[in-house]
Amino acid sequence: EAKRQGRGRAVAYQPGMLEVVTERHRLEDDLREAIETQAFHLAYQPVVDLKTGEPLGYEALIRWTHPVRGAVSPVAFVPLAEENGQIVAIGRWVLMEACRAAAAWPNGRHVAVNVSPVQLRSPLFLSHVTAALAESGLAPCRLEVELTETAMVESGTQIADALGALRILGIRIAMDDFGTGYSSLAHLRDFPLDRIKIDRSFVAAAETDRHSMAVLRAVTQIGRDIGIPTLAEGVETPSQWELLKALGCDAGQGYLFGRPERLDTAAAATAPLAAAG
Ligand code: C2E
Ligand code: MG
Ligand code: MG
Ligand code: MG
């Protein structure tokens, strides 16, 4: 429907371009309203100890139910929200919501929150983090911030300062999607990290592609040598679990252990894992 209107208006002049622009503005308006109308929720995916399959914590993943379009993937709207700065307000909501949920979980379990480089650069970011911790009562060590390498590439002092401040607060820092983007081993040396999350593309290909296998082996080895736990993303099969265990990878995440799901706090506290191993 929205698409048809956009096309109708655009016929007279460069249809494709105008369609994209109106589409974008519409999404921006809808995003602006989404926090107020409670159109976002968080789905939580277990992060498990690969030795036992027991949950160590959960990653919070944002979900948007658009009034007309239905579910819109974060892959579609997070980049837009980063470009226009809306990610700062959205991220503030995510932090608050995730910390509130995690405060009710058993004590050892952490919540991992994805943070965009745009948020990290915002002068408001640290106050959003401290407010979420203070209002939820969550111990800082139970909050883990996930950053992609892109954030680290754009290093600069703002990012370094923000990371240092998180560190001082006792918040953990994970490098997300390691091995993709602007990978550089220097990031492992230059940034204080608490976890390396190896991108799921390596896990998916490991059994058929020896290059992917070599990367998995090397990264888990480096993690061991420098004392940073490794986590494999996208574990979908028991044989991938076995393989990663054999490589000495510490933690895993993936459909085998649990899909991202809306969790009420009671469920999070007791949720048994379906996977056997
Ligand atoms: P990510 O942080 O790397 O999150 C992992 C993604 O892999 C999630 O996609 C998850 O649903 C998916 N996944 C988990 N296990 C499996 C598996 O076994 N197989 C496959 N094929 N996929 C699996 P999702 O939820 O669509 O999120 C996509 C990306 O959007 C995230 O990647 C993250 O970069 C971003 N994102 C999600 N929530 C937030 C948020 O609150 N703030 C920000 N800034 N970014 C977010
Ligand atoms: Mg992540
Ligand atoms: Mg990831
Ligand atoms: Mg990923």
What is the predicted ipTM? Answer: 0.98
Q: At 275, is the pLDDT very low, low, confident or very high (cuts 50, 70, 90)?
A: very low
Give the pLDDT of residue 155.
Answer: 61
Alpha helices in 62-171 (DSSP H): 74-84, 87-102, 117-121, 125-136, 149-153, 156-169
For 113, list phi and psi in degrees, rounded to 5. Answer: -120, 130
Q: Ligand 1 pocket, 75 CB below 6 A?
A: yes
Specify whether the CB–CB gap between 192 and 160 falls below 8 A. Answer: no
* 254 CA to centre of ligand 3 in angstroms: 10
| pLDDT surpassing 60 at residue 33 | yes
DSSP letter (8 states) at residue 56:
E
Tell me the mean pLDDT in the region 30-51: 95
> Over the chain, what is the mean pLDDT?
89
For 44, list phi and psi in degrees, rounded to 5. Answer: -120, 130
Q: At 22, is the pLDDT very low, low, confident or very high (cuts 50, 70, 90)?
A: confident
| pLDDT surpassing 80 at residue 9 | no
pTM: 0.90
Q: Ligand 1 pocket, 88 CB below 6 A?
A: no
Among 83, 114, 199, 236, residue to substitute to test ligand 1 (most atoms within 8 Å of Cβ): 114
All residues with CB under 5 Å from ion ligand 4 = 177
DSSP letter (8 states) at residue 262:
-
Give the pLDDT of residue 70.
Answer: 95
How many other CB atoms are found less than 10 A from the CB of residue 43? Answer: 16
Give the pLDDT of residue 63.
Answer: 97
| pLDDT surpassing 50 at residue 8 | no
Tell me the mean pLDDT in the region 243-254: 98
* 5 CA to centre of ligand 4 in angstroms: 35
| pLDDT surpassing 50 at residue 68 | yes
Q: Which atom of ligand 1 is nearest to the CA of 119?
A: 44
Residues 80, 203: Cα–Cα separation, whole Å: 29
* 4 CA to centre of ligand 4 in angstroms: 33
Q: 55-59, 85-89, 189-193, 227-231 — which is least confidently predicted?
A: 189-193
| pLDDT surpassing 70 at residue 50 | yes
Alpha helices in the chain (DSSP H): 2-10, 15-34, 74-84, 87-102, 117-121, 125-136, 149-153, 156-169, 186-190, 200-205, 210-226, 238-247, 265-270
Tell me the mean pLDDT in the region 48-52: 98
